[in-house]
Amino acid sequence: MENFTLTVMFFFDPKTKEGAVIDPGSQGYKILDFIEQHNIKIKYIINTHGHYDHIGADLFLKDKLGAEILVHKNDAEMLKDPMLNLSFYDDVSEIGGIVPDRLLEEGDIISVGSIELRVLHTPGHTPGSICLFSEREIFTGDTLFAGSVGRTDLPGGDMKQLKKSLENKIKTLPDHLVVYPGHGPSTTMNHEKEYNPYF
């Protein structure tokens, strides 16, 4: 497990070197260089949601690595449309035309080597926001941050849904999990349950 930039994470089996890149928002060449230096065999490109800062290098990495792009079915259209993924509105190159290879749903299991990531559908930041958890860690995208949560004032955001996701899903997870958010520092589930004002 390596924290790369604000939104890019790598998850891989140290024995087989098979892995996934989570939320490659930008800097495709830099990400590729890291992958090659560490000899990781990227099987999947996983998007925790469809905003442009989490999908920007999807097509570049798919072209270079042949990896499959995975996203929750409720955010699939965001990958195709610059207006939906918000790149149209920001001072960045428009991002679109990304067709996912696999649409994720609640409870799906993603295997990399001998390690499994389980999909939690956690709508609120976007309709198709997901978290991915294993025995030791959870990748929360923009659902949960250290001491905060993702914003819900963007199109498709819904604070009531986010609170339900936190209460009914995130809060039920084991305290020992290390939390790797889409932005900001890592934390632990125990710490967030005790100190995060949104719990």
Spatial strand order in the sheet of 137-141? 109-112, 115-121, 130-133, 137-141, 178-181, 187-188
Cβ count near 44 (within 10 Å):
21
Helices (H) and strands (E) in the chain, counts: 6, 14
Instruction: Specify the 3-state DSSP secondary structure of 29.
Output: helix
**Cα separations (Å) of 156 from 126, 142, 181, 190?**
5, 13, 20, 29
pTM: 0.94
Q: So what's the pLDDT on residue 6?
A: 59
Fold of 2-195: Metallo-beta-lactamase; Chain A (3.60.15)
pLDDT by residue for the chain (199 residues), tens digit each?
Answer: 344 345 689 999 999 999 999 999 888 999 999 999 999 999 999 999 999 999 999 999 999 999 999 999 999 999 999 999 999 887 678 899 999 999 999 999 999 999 999 999 999 999 999 999 999 999 999 999 999 999 999 999 999 999 999 999 999 999 999 999 999 999 999 999 999 999 9
Q: How far apart are CA 2 and CA 186, in angstroms?
A: 11
pLDDT at residue 92, as a whole number:
74
CA distance 59 to 99: 9
Angle formed by the axes of helices 28-37 and 58-65, nearest 10°: 40
The residue among 114, 79, 73, 72 whose CA lies nearest residue 94 is 79
**Residue 124 · residue 152 · CB < 8 Å:** yes
